């Protein structure tokens, strides 16, 4: 009897995991500036891999220490071309706590990409690790 109950619970648990999927987000690319230039800003993409059906890459910037400060700068979606990184898309940002910016994938080719962030008033440049985009 005990064995049957344990088997039924195990089956139910496995079915729940299988049908609901993993709730952990898999971030393909992220960075954290730490205390460099006193920014304390982190950033991450919305997925770990982009299929042919993907329309955009969403990138979120945030700070763990909200204050009256407003962070401003530029984000670049860059594709690896040989040993160089070529900018495919560019957008600006401004936030005090958190912001999500979206890069349209229209016109971007299949390849490995990264997101580069520059901050106004700082020499700091953050880049994510690379991630794959299929077109």
Rg of the chain in Å (alpha carbons)? 20
Q: Could you give the CA distance from residue 39 to residue 124 in angstroms, rounded to a whole number?
A: 9
Q: Which residue has the tokens 């891999």?
A: 49
Q: pLDDT value at position 106?
A: 95
Q: Which residues of the chain have pLDDT under 50?
A: 6, 9-10, 12-26
Superfamily of domain 24-133: Macroglobulin (MG2) domain (2.60.40.1930)
Query: Which pLDDT score is estimated for 7?
Result: 55
The backbone torsions φ and ψ at residue 13, rounded to the nearest 5 degrees and listed phi first, read -65, -45
Q: What is the pLDDT of residue 77?
A: 98
What is the reported pLDDT for 132? Answer: 95
Output the pLDDT for position 61. Answer: 94
Q: What is the pTM of this model?
A: 0.76
Domain range list for the chain: 24-133
Measured between alpha carbons, how far apart are the two ends of the chain, in Å? 54
pLDDT of residue 12: 47
């Amino acid at each position: 009897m005990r064995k049957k109950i344990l088997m039924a619970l195990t089956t139910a648990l496995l079915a729940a995991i299988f049908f609901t999927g993993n709730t952990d987000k898999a971030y393909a690319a992220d960075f954290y500036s730490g205390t460099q230039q006193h920014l304390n800003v982190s950033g991450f993409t919305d997925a770990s891999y982009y299929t042919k059906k993907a329309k955009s890459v969403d990138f979120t910037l945030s700070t763990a220490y909200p204050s009256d400060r407003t962070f401003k700068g530029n984000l670049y979606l860059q594709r690896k071309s040989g040993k160089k990184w070529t900018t495919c898309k560019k957008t600006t940002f401004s936030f005090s706590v958190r912001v999500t910016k979206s890069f349209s994938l229209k016109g971007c080719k299949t390849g490995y990409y990264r997101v580069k962030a520059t901050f106004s008033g700082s020499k700091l440049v953050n880049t994510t690790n690379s991630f794959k985009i299929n077109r």
